Chains A and B, each alone.
Chain A
Amino acid sequence: MQRRRSLSSVRSPISWLSCLSAGAHVAFAQGPQTTPSILAPESTPAHEIYGLSLFVLLITGTIFVVVAGLLTYAIIKFRARGTDDQHEPAQVYGSVQVELAWTVIPVLIVVVLFLTTARIIFAIQDAPKPKSALDVTVVGHQFWWEFRYPKYGIVTANELHVPVSTAAQSEPVYLRLLSADVDHSFWVPQLGGKTDLIPNHPNEMWIDPRHTGLYLGQCAQFCGIEHAMMLLRVYVDTPDQFAAWVKNQQQPGVQDEKVAAGRHIFETQACMNCHTVTGTVAKGTFGPDLTHLMSRATIASGAATNTPDNLRAWIKDPATFKPGSLMPAMQLSDEQINQLVAYLSTLH
């Protein structure tokens, strides 16, 4: 009887699943959180997964209650008691009918789970790409993220800016995932499942965040010593904010005569080998593009906030925040570092 009840409950939730997820939605604050919980979805793929997960939880939860209940009952009811006689209990060797029943019922459950899952896989993976979609190329590097916007000619790092996608104006973001070295994985739980960045194997995923704000994530495939500090920030902007951000990012690097000394150091030391500042001779691509460094809230892929003090400490010895970072300590004097930080601080 208990088994049959678990089956009939499989069908009905499909209809009220949407109600359930809507109810759960109210329970959680809308918008981004500092805890990157998969229970607070803010984008269509994450929502679909969340709804599916509630359905699966319901089925597996029912199975657990039934089976664990039987087991508990057996433990309590059939435990040996001091008052027992010394006879062995009746020996039962099996029963074809019973065994057939507990083979067929799981088969039916698997069919239901499989069909439901297949529907969501196709809905997310094979969703047609709308014309309005924004393309962003994500390149994973050992311990930082590179973001390229081919449509706008922008290159930035570690902090992804995307426009909010509303019901009226849907503007999903399609991420093309590449890797410059080893395997990485792009994971911002509130926006969607993770997809790996594998060299020589371009992948794609899409998100359409519904609320503005900052969403947190990080690399989810071990990529080397500083894998833990390969953090990821996604800013979802209003259309106006996004347009302003794009406009700013398209400008070449600010050239301020007051910090010429720092700029000279940047362009004559090894900095320029790895970093780019557009409009100057620095055209390195091994490290993050620094043209608009000051437009970012963090440095070192989220390992530290972007303050002059942290920048100073970072340049003096990157191991302060990130031992194993591929950026070397350049052995500069304190005066040189101050000049360099003054220059970098003008790169808005």
Chain B
Amino acid sequence: MADQSLPISGPLTEAYPTRGTFLEWLHSWVVTVDHKKLGILYIVYAVFFLLVAGAEAMAMRIQLAVPNNHFLSPELFNEFFTMHGTTMVFLVGMTIIFGIGNYLVPLMIGARDMAFPRLNAFSFWLSAFGGLLLYFSFVGGFGLYGMGSAPDVTWWAYAPLTAKAFTPGHNTDYWALSLIVMGFGTLGAAINTLATAFSMRCRGMTLLRMPLFVWLMIVTSALTLITITPLTAAQVMLIIDRYLGGHFFDAQAGGAPIVWMHFFWVFGHPEVYVLILPAFGIASEVIPVFSRKAIFGYPAMVAASVGIAFVSTTVWAHHMFTVGMTSVGNTFFVLSTMMVGIPTGIKIFNWIATMWGGKIRFATPMLFCTAFLFQFLCAGLTGIMLSIAPWDWQLHNSYFVIAHFHYTLTGSFLFCMFAAFYYWYPKVTGRMLSEKLGKWHFWLFFLGFHLTFDTMHFVGILGMPRSIYTYEADRGWNTLNFWISMGGFVQAIAILIFAWNMIDSYRRGKEAGNDPWDAWTLEWSTPSPPPAYNFAEDPVVRSRRPLWDIKHPNDPDWKYER
């Protein structure tokens, strides 16, 4: 059985067993090394944890809807926001980008699988077990102390709160170890993506003819190699401090808690770009197809992406404007942070220019991408505000910051992920997602998102700090918090509609055919779902839009591309 799903050469017939017992079906998923099946596993795993971390957020919003509430105990609230952050970044964000990348990169470059199929499976299972390790802490976090407890030290886990003296029990160990395990999984996925994109491209596909999504996966994978390393190093130091008598972060023995901050944010800030760059890639695929125009300024888009990656490694200490750096140090990180705005601005302008003069079809994927453009613009501008170090002294660790990064991670990243779901679901399953439910999902999520996160900016300006399980009734934050929570519920309803749409359309959705969106990249030339071998013959391309060339033989792209 295991050998059957290996990409061995042979007659190109039906590779999936058509009908088998449930155990055979399960076994085929567990032992698979097919990039498409692994991609689906990643995505299902990510969606599951999206629901879990979303439920944690809802519990927190119930607690904060009114002042001095007792819905959650302080312990549980602290555990929930730690787990919400850690889950969303590592178990949802990282897995979903590598899931979508896994599925699409080989199809987009005309390859039959990733460069290292076995490493691919290994990476997924490492990530999966890392996530289970993290969640096992809910039952095993206190180990021999006799009760469960999840990590409760925030997802940035500043030292020395993580020291044994302040956090006894094993919950912090679960946190550190699971991030190490998931980190290795992510490194494997990143190396695999790089190797695939660089060495598996079909004939004619030069680097500058790759779809932008593949480019963005290259940049993101390279950035992953840079950022996961210091995170893993920091976790190892933390474990040494906790169990082997190390003093890296132990101030009482001459260690420096600030060292942890540097290590964490050298990972943490580029991590935001690791997540958002594939989202840019998705927008760069969806917007041209639904505007019916080639992407505007392809070389500039590639250059801007690489530029963002380089600049993003120099900005980490803007998370540390309040830790007492020198004025010169602060000034440097103000400048480097503002510089991110330049390549990012180029991207936004190029997307608008792509829409300019087109015939824009507002199907659900395009709706999500259009909202992404507005919300990413706002996120960029609040990012500029936070880069102003003196203003950051006020805004740092307030709800304004929460609003800002949810504008990037929900309003931008998640909106693009939803666009990707609606856009590529037909390719993966052979069936269209319901447009009617899709529009309900979009408009409810859009409404709930703005109700929640627009309001959070204001409550932050009124002085409400993050990470607090309750607040005083006389601070003037009551009404705003109530509406933030209401918006959360609207988003939750939208997410349930989305989940139902995914399940229901799988059974009853309209047949998609090979190319339901009249698109231009190679994955749409395969059947839906693609066979295990992807392409019966190795494709040959002459431009960035091979299917455009086939559909418009009199007016092909390769005549005009520069």
Interface residues of A (CB under 8 A from B): 33-39, 45-46, 48-49, 52-53, 56-57, 60, 63-64, 67-68, 70-71, 74-75, 78-80, 84, 88-95, 98-99, 102-103, 106-107, 110, 113-114, 117-118, 120-122, 124-126, 142, 177, 181-183, 185, 187, 189, 192-196, 198-201, 203-204, 216-228, 231, 323-324
Residue B184 interfacial (CB < 8 Å): no
- The residues of B that contact A89 with a CB separation of less than 8 Å are 291-293, 357-359
| B237 located at the interface, meaning its Cβ lies under 8 Å from any Cβ of chain A in the complex | no
Contact A103 B251 (CB under 8 A): no
Q: Count contacts on B: residues with CB < 8 A to the other chain.
A: 97
- Of chain B, the residue at the smallest CB distance from A324 is B74
Give the docked Cα–Cα distance between A114 and B159 (Å).
31
Interchain CA distance A45-B394 in the complex, whole Å: 10
Query: B252: which of A68, A199, A219 is its contact (CB, 8 Å)?
Result: A199
Q: Say whether, besides A34-B475, A92-B293, A110 and B342 are in contact (CB < 8 Å).
A: yes
Q: Establish whether residues B297 and A222, one from each chain, have CB atoms under 8 Å apart when the complex forms.
A: no
- Cβ-defined contact, A219 with B465, below 8 A: yes
Chain B: CB-nearest residue to A34: B474
B461: contacting residue among A38, A63, A106, CB under 8 A:
A38
Contact indicator A110/B338 (Cβ below 8 Å): yes
B299 within 8 A of A: yes
Does B482 have its Cβ within 8 Å of any Cβ on chain A? no
Chain B 430-469 interface 0/1 with A at a Cβ cutoff of 8 Å (1 = within): 0000000000000000000000000000000111011111
> In the complex the two chains form, what is the Cα distance from A339 to B36 in whole Å?
74
**Chain A residues, CB < 8 A from B152:** 225
Chain A nearest CB, measured from B176 CB (Å): 17
Complex-state Cα separation, A122 to B353, whole angstroms: 40
Q: Are A193 and B373 in contact (CB under 8 A)?
A: no
Q: How far is the CA of A38 from the CA of B391 in the complex (A)?
A: 10
Q: Given A37-B461, A228-B471: A107 and B78 within 8 A (CB)?
A: no
Q: Is B71 an interface residue (CB 8 A)?
A: no
Are B467 and A227 neighbours in the complex by a CB distance under 8 Å? Answer: yes
Q: Could you list 15 examples of A-B contacts with CB < 8 Å?
A: A33-B476, A49-B393, A60-B385, A67-B349, A75-B370, A79-B362, A80-B292, A89-B292, A102-B346, A110-B342, A183-B160, A196-B322, A200-B254, A200-B255, A323-B73
Across the two chains, which residue of chain A brings its CB closest to B353?
A98
Bound Cα distance from A88 to B474, whole angstroms: 60
Q: CB of B388 within 8 A of chain A?
A: yes
Partner of B352, one of A36, A74, A198, A199: A74
B504 at the interface (CB under 8 A from A): no
Find the residue from B160, B388, B476 having the highest chain A CB count within 10 A.
Answer: B388
B298 in the interface (beta carbon within 8 A): yes
Per DSSP, are chain A's interface residues mostly helix, strand or loop, or mixed? mixed
Contact yes or no, B296 A53, CB < 8 A: no
A26 to chain B, nearest CB (A): 19
CB distance from B123 to the nearest CB of A (A): 32
Question: Across the interface, do B296 and A70 meet the contact criterion of CB distance under 8 Å?
Answer: no
A228 to B464: give the CA distance in the assembly, Å: 10
User: Given that A89-B358, A185-B397, A225-B78 are known contacts, is A36 also in contact with B463, CB under 8 Å in the complex?
Assistant: yes
Contact B360 A57 (CB under 8 A): no
| Residues of B363-398 whose CB lies within 8 A of A | 370, 373-374, 377-378, 381-382, 384-385, 388-398
The one of A80, A117, A198, A203 that contacts B389, using a Cβ cutoff of 8 Å: A117
In the bound complex, what is the Cα–Cα distance between A228 and B468 (angstroms)? 4
Look across to chain B and name the residue whose beta carbon is closest to the beta carbon of A49: B390
Which residue of the partner chain, among A78, A93, A99, A114, contacts B359 with CB atoms under 8 Å? Answer: A78
B495 an interface residue at 8 Å Cβ cutoff?
A: no
A309: min CB distance to chain B, Å = 17
A182 engages B166 (CB within 8 Å): yes
Contacting A183 at CB < 8 Å: which of B158, B252, B294, B475? B158
Q: Write the chain B residue with the least CB distance to A116.
A: B388
Excluding A53-B388, A67-B377, 18 further A-B contacts by CB distance (< 8 Å) are: A34-B474, A35-B463, A36-B463, A53-B391, A57-B385, A74-B355, A80-B359, A91-B294, A93-B561, A102-B349, A106-B346, A117-B389, A121-B331, A194-B393, A195-B393, A199-B252, A199-B257, A216-B463
| Alpha-carbon separation in the docked complex, A193 to B389 (Å) | 10
Q: Restricting to B322-362, which residues have a CB under 8 Å from any CB of A?
A: 322-324, 326-327, 330-331, 334-335, 338-339, 341-342, 345-346, 348-350, 352-353, 355-362
